[in-house]
Amino acid sequence: MRVTRASMSLDDLQNLFQTGIESCTSDNPANRDGPEEASDFERLMGPVLPECLEVRCQVQDSDCRTDSFGTLLRPLSRYEVSAAIKYASACGAAALPSSAQGTILRKLRLRRERCQSGIQGLDFVDHNSLTSLPPQLPPQLPQSSILNLLKSIRTTPYETSFLSRLCGRRLSTDSGLVAVDWETRSPWMELMTDVREHYSYAHPASSQSFEDPLPIRYVSLQPSHLPQVHELLARVFWDGIDVSDLLQSSPERCSVIAMYGKVVIGVALLSSAQETYITYLAVRAGWHNCQIATTMLYHLIMLNPYSDITLHVAANNPAMLLYNRFGFKAEEFVVGFYEDYLDSQSRASMNAFRLRLRR
């Protein structure tokens, strides 16, 4: 009946106790409840108990883990779990347990119920019962007829397309690039998209050319921009404006030009790097309400961080709100400032405010 380490288990130990007690009680039924029963139990447990305790220590050592602080921890035994639940329940009757104590008590009770019902934890899930992914099909090569159809599609060469006239035949890097905006969508851009979609719906049989989206680029004034800049300023302000002399006085600090492809859609100019007076701020029609003027004014201010910036704005010009958001303050009200520039029938006010942004 000797129990070795290899055969040590609770079932064998229970069978050993049951066999020993039955053999003792069957020999002497009168001593079943007498004091000799304890001596029989001690006699049976005497040779088994040392090895049982040794194996128990080995099992506990194998289950020990080290936490992040280097402390050696081991799982609680069933007796320790029951004792902890009993102690916590007794203490909870006198005072309300804390949230941490309540959480520990619930976990201990759950662990005891699982052990009693034989439910295993998540570590013992049968992975073979999980649904596996469907097998991946090998990639199929396109048929030669499909490739021939794709190659037979006729497209407009870039050199003779509308996109080349808009962007130029040779895409060159802009000198004096300030910023690039890929997110803004203006009413003009939406209109052009609708025109192309309407044409494709009306002529489904004709070949369609797809245009790559273009960003709005903010650059310094270049000689190639002058014709479009003069045209834009004449449309927004008055005829005869010439800013070509600005090319000789630090255009990288005194100008911000908004470009869509090769089209000038916005202008922001200073008189000079020394005076820092905003002479013109204009946006092409169809590109309003897109934060283009705000972006140009922001970069123009950032290009001159150590100088006060001044300007005049008509008294009824909504741009006053834009300048106020950037911190411009009115210093003077000038009567008849625009009398020499505006037509007498113009709706713009002849009076102006002088604004200053102090740095």
Read off the pLDDT band of 347 (50, 70, 90).
confident
pLDDT in tens, 185-218: 888 888 888 888 888 888 877 766 666 778 999 9
* Predicted pLDDT at 123: 40
pLDDT at 24 over 60: no
For residue 82, the one-letter residue type is: S
Q: Which residue has the higher pLDDT, 272 or 3?
A: 272
* Predicted pLDDT at 5: 43
Within 13 Å of residue 86, how many CA atoms lie on the same side as its CB?
6
* Predicted pLDDT at 328: 94
Residue 282: how many other CB atoms lie within 10 Å: 22
* Predicted pLDDT at 14: 63
pLDDT in tens, 111-153: 788 777 766 554 433 444 344 455 666 667 677 888 888 888 8
Q: 161-199+211-305: which CATH number, 2.40.30, 1.10.287, 3.40.630, 2.30.30?
A: 3.40.630
What is d(CA 326, CA 358) in angstroms, rounded to the nearest whole number? 11
* Predicted pLDDT at 129: 39
* Predicted pLDDT at 329: 94
For residue 11, the one-letter residue type is: D
What's the average model confidence in pLDDT over 69-84? Answer: 79
* Predicted pLDDT at 2: 44
* Predicted pLDDT at 119: 64
Q: What is the mean pLDDT of the chain?
A: 79
Q: State how far the alpha carbon of 325 is from the alpha carbons of 89, 276, 298, in Å.
A: 66, 19, 11
What's the average model confidence in pLDDT over 45-55? Answer: 80
What's the average model confidence in pLDDT over 1-21? Answer: 54
* Predicted pLDDT at 54: 84
Residue 146: how many other CB atoms lie within 10 Å: 10
* Predicted pLDDT at 90: 74
Read off the pLDDT band of 28 (50, 70, 90).
low
What is d(CA 267, CA 232) in angstroms, rounded to the nearest whole number? 8
Packed helices 78-94 and 99-117: angle between N→C axes, nearest 10 degrees:
140
What's the average model confidence in pLDDT over 214-227? Answer: 92
Instruction: Give the distance from CA 152 to its chain's centroid.
Output: 43
Domain span(s) for CATH 3.40.630 in the chain: 161-199+211-305
Percent of the chain with pLDDT over 70: 77
Nearest alpha carbon to residue 358 among 317, 327, 335 = 327
pLDDT at 179 over 50: yes
What's the average model confidence in pLDDT over 235-250? Answer: 89
User: Which region holds residue 85: left if phi is over 0, alpha if psi is between -120 and 50, else beta?
Assistant: alpha
pLDDT at 314 over 60: yes
pLDDT at 29 over 60: no
In the chain, alpha helices (H): 10-27, 36-45, 49-63, 78-94, 99-117, 144-151, 162-167, 187-202, 226-236, 251-254, 292-302, 319-325
What's the average model confidence in pLDDT over 104-114? Answer: 81
* DSSP one-letter code for 277: B
**Residue 194 structure tokens:** 């609708």
What's the average model confidence in pLDDT over 348-358? Answer: 92
* Predicted pLDDT at 98: 72
Nearest alpha carbon to residue 266 among 289, 238, 249 = 289
* Predicted pLDDT at 327: 93
β strands within the chain, DSSP E:
65-66, 72-73, 177-181, 216-219, 255-260, 263-270, 278-283, 309-314, 329-334, 352-357
**Residue 286 structure tokens:** 């169809």
φ, ψ of residue 60 to 5 degrees: the values are: -65, -35
Can you give the pTM of this predicted structure? 0.51
pLDDT at 30 over 60: no
Q: Which residue has the higher pLDDT, 187 or 70?
A: 187
pLDDT in tens, 263-295: 999 999 999 888 899 999 999 998 988 899 999
